[in-house]
Amino acid sequence: MYCKMVINSFNIMIISKNQTGIERYMEPFFSIVASPFIIMISIFVDLISLPNILLMPEDEFEEKYQRNIDELNED
């Protein structure tokens, strides 16, 4: 994911012709520096929120999806 973000930012830098000067080089720099932190925050949020979703009581889970099925069948 990190490599994809860095390569994409360099690609944008190469094809962008409207930007001049320092703005053109800030995109790859920001991608190289900030991307690892963004990826770590994303993984951390997933680790915190995913167990709450997966360990939700079965009754609530089934009720939620049963309501959706009922709404679809009404149409």
Q: For each of the chain's 75 residues, which pLDDT tens digit applies?
A: 778 877 887 787 777 776 667 766 777 777 788 888 888 998 999 899 888 877 777 666 666 666 667 777 775
| C-alpha distances in Å from residue 22, one per residue of 18, 29, 32, 55 | 12, 10, 16, 49
Q: Tell me which residue range forms the domain holding 66.
A: 2-74
Q: How many other β-carbons are positioned within 10 Å of the β-carbon of residue 22? A: 8
Q: How far is CA 7 from the centre of its chain?
A: 17
Domains held by the chain: number? 1
